[in-house]
Amino acid sequence: MFSTLNRGLRAVLKQTQALAGNWIQNSQTRACATFQLHKDHLVLNYGGAGMHFNYVWLRDHCRSESSYNSKTNQRNLDTATIDLQIRPEKTSVEDGHLVLTWPGGHVTKYSLSWLAENSYEARKQNPVQPRILWNADIYNKANVPAAKWDKFMSCDEELKTFLQNYLLYGFAFVEGVPATLEATEAVTQRVSLIRETTYGKMWSLIADFSRGDTAYSTLALDRHIDTTYFYEPCGIQVFHCIQHNATGGRTLLVDGFYAAEQLRQKSPENFELLSRLSIPHEYAENTGTHRNHMIGIGPLLNVYPWNNEMYLIRYNNSDRTVINTIPHDLVQKWYTAHRELTTELRRPENELWVKLTPGKVIFIDNWRVMHGRESFTGVRQLCGCYMTRDDVLSKARGFGLLA
Ligand SMILES: C[N+](C)(C)CCCC[C@H](N)C(=O)O
Ligand SMILES: O=C(O)CCC(=O)C(=O)O
């Protein structure tokens, strides 16, 4: 039986990888290739597509032993020694390879399928991370299963399915976890590395008005991501509500990328503005023994320049500090764009409300999915931690879930 997750994943992979997949498949089935030489690049026609390769690039990526250490996957060649006007003296296609002879006699050989996979044209068509963007209805209909603690801790398949969910939707649950800080730490470390911050490695939150942040109060918190005041905001947020004897306190989740894509469709110039102009966020706190003071500056919407795919939404209206990074004639435009994005983020149909209860641990992609909280009365203890993004993605690559 296939879970909804697998159906969802198959659909997305089909959609998003169709082009690149065909590209590579065609490349392999059609062994013949032609090329044209131009001033500083050649065009390779292979598998029905034209790919452009610059000559310096072709010399720089040479996989011969003297140029590249294939044991360590590191370059041996000193790129600064390549003549920037370099051109191959001889070029041919032989046995599924492009063969280039450089001035001085060095020979570079690339398999055509390697070139097809590593071309800019393929990269541009391939999303870095296939995702299912959601509003409440889309997510609820998907019936995404939660991982089960026992299985999760011992079975790689359970961990893999969990990571697939996490990558596609930007959050995922593990259920049946003992309601302790130690078990929360263990379940996190089963995934990957904890990122220690000024809040501690593992933290435990109980309404505490001595701390200098509203997170430690019983007040409602509007949708936001955490640590916008770091140049690299924390990648993953882990929450476990280990004690709940309170009214209210539900958790709000909003897919920031879904909302931002609505903005991109309705108002591309405002999307572009928010991705171009940088704004600062700040955290300042006196702890009694020392002062924590962090400032991070960057655009609200962050997209990869080669394919415009979004990878980070730096949105936290409480922690956004003085805007002195935008010239006056663009400030009004920035506020207009921010308002439009906020309207999308606040649409009731985009809000997913969940109740975190003891045993249920949530992992949230803090670069994509925003969280918030309803106000509460009574005792509510939340523990958790942050995780390093790169290590979680590395784990996913290990399972073949990500290129
Ligand atoms: C999660 N934990 C309670 C440890 C930290 C809370 C950080 C709150 C801060 N306003 C931010 O959004 O980054
Ligand atoms: O108390 C909660 O549910 C969330 C707290 C929060 O938003 C945070 O710590 O960033």
Ligand 2 proximal residues by C-beta, below 6 Å = 215, 221, 226, 251, 371, 373, 382
Phi, psi of 190 (to 5 degrees): -65, -30
Tell me the domain boundaries of the chain.
4-125, 127-403
> Looking at the predicted structure, is the pLDDT value of residue 161 above 70?
yes
Ligand 1 atom nearest residue 224's Cα? 12
For ligand 1, atom 9: residue with the closest CA: 226
What is the CATH topology of the domain spanning 4-125?
NE0471 N-terminal domain-like (3.30.2020)
Ligand 1 atom nearest residue 319's Cα? 10
Q: What angle do CA 396, 394, 360 make, to 5 degrees?
A: 55
> Looking at the predicted structure, is the pLDDT value of residue 3 above 70?
no
Ligand 2 atom nearest residue 382's Cα? 1
Across the chain, mean pLDDT equals 92
Over the stretch 326-368, which tens digit does the pLDDT of each residue have? 999 999 999 999 999 999 999 999 999 999 999 999 999 999 9
Over the stretch 223-262, which tens digit does the pLDDT of each residue have? 999 999 999 999 999 999 999 988 999 999 999 999 999 9
Pick one of 1.20.5.510, 3.60.130.10, 1.10.8.60, 3.30.565.10 as the CATH number of 127-403: 3.60.130.10
pTM metric for this prediction: 0.91
For ligand 2, atom 4: residue with the closest CA: 373
SS3 per-residue string spanning 54-106: EHHHHHHCCCCCCCEECCCCEECCCHHHCCCCCCCCEEEEECCEEEEECCCCC
Residue 228 and residue 367: Cα distance in Å, rounded? 9
| Best CA proximity match to 163, nearest among 384, 357, 361, 400 | 400
CB atoms within 10 A of CB 161: 23
**CB within 8 Å of 328: residues ≥ 6 apart:** none
* Percent share of the chain, pLDDT over 90: 85
Return the structure tokens found at 139.
């997510």
Give bridge partners of residue 200 from the DSSP assignment: 197
Residue 20 CA from chain centroid, whole number: 20
